[in-house]
Amino acid sequence: MNQYPPLKSLVFLDAAIRHGSFSLAAKEFSVTPGAVGQQIQKLEEWLGVALFSRRIRQVVPTADGLAYWHRIQPALSQIVDASRILRKQRTKSVWLSMPPSFAAKWFTRRMAGFLTEHPDVELHLNTGRALVDFEREAIDLAIRYFDGLDHSLDATLLYKDEARVYCRPDYAARLGLMRTDDLTRAKLLETTIQPYWQPWLRRFSDLDDTRIKAIPSIHFDQAMMAIEAAKQGQGVVMSSPILLEEDLAQGLLFEPFGHCLPLDNGYYVVHHRKLDLRPAALALKNWLLDRTAAY
């Protein structure tokens, strides 16, 4: 007897248990639920045990099925990971993840420069706020906004952040924003990435906490939205200077007070500490470090 079980059936078993459904497992592989059922039955015949209890419009893993799946699932994951790594090693593609605001306000304006210098590299850009799992996701590098402390990552600082205040010139003129205390007449635009209005005002104004809390504000979960609101004259935004280079150069926004609040966080380029970077990914990392060296 062949010592190997029907390997294709193992993949269908994994999907069926993960989804808790033959139908959802079928969608994952673009086959019919009947095809999934046939593969499961083939594996059950080879093992000599029932892996699922069939009920009306429902299949439920048996105790043997669950125990078997828990034993084989790590091996299946290792096969996927090893195959993904080997395939990536043979390509000149690089997968990069970063926060949406950094992508829109900094990276995309410079991206053509990298592709011009490295025309043979195929760049895949992913934006999102979720943390990357380098062991599970097909991501080579990520730009992450944090304090740089994560023992599982190789983290190299691109930009040490600071909090500064910006608004439209005509907005400042209309409200007479000459001193920081004048912000009681403004609307504060606050972001998840920089929720530091209170410490900024405590340091740079003579306002007490009661008056600070009385200033109207709007909270944004994305820096891009807050910056856009400031450009539309909706308020005063606190932001990283690195995100506003183009808007400042064009005169769309300006800094009315010039006070800087240093921050512990910054933008880091990160990758898995124990996984070597392929040449294409290393080229992108070095390019990012060169472009941010001036900061």
Mean pLDDT, the chain, rounded, equals 92
3-state secondary structure the chain: CCCCCCHHHHHHHHHHHHHCCHHHHHHHHCCCHHHHHHHHHHHHHHHCCCCEEEECCEEEECHHHHHHHHHHHHHHHHHHHHHHHHHHHCCCEEEEEECHHHHHHHHCCCHHHHHHHCCCCEEEEEECCCCCCCCCCCCCEEEEEECCCCCCEEEEEEEEEEEEEEECHHHHHHHCCCCHHHHHHCCEEEECCCCCHHHHHHHHCCCCHHHHHCCCEEEECCHHHHHHHHHCCCCEEEECHHHCHHHHHCCCCECCCCCCEEEEEEEEEEEECCCCCCHHHHHHHHHHHHHHCCC
Tell me: the pLDDT tens digits for 48-88? Answer: 999 999 887 788 999 999 999 999 999 988 888 777 766 66
**Do the domains at 7-89 and 161-263 have one common CATH topology?**
no
CATH superfamily, with its number, for domain 93-158+266-292: Periplasmic binding protein-like II (3.40.190.10)
Where does the pLDDT of residue 99 fall: very low under 50, low under 70, confident under 90, or very high at 90 and above?
very high
pTM above 0.75, yes or no: no
Q: Which of 43-47, 132-136, 205-209 has the lowest mean pLDDT?
A: 132-136
Q: Where are the domains of the chain?
A: 7-89, 93-158+266-292, 161-263
Tell me: the pLDDT tens digits for 226-285? Answer: 999 999 999 999 999 999 999 999 999 999 999 999 999 999 999 998 888 888 999 999
Query: What percent of the chain is predicted at pLDDT more than 90?
Result: 76
What fold is seen in the domain 7-89?
A: Arc Repressor Mutant, subunit A (1.10.10)
Q: What is the CATH number of domain 161-263?
A: 3.40.190.10
Where does the pLDDT of residue 3 fall: very low under 50, low under 70, confident under 90, or very high at 90 and above?
confident
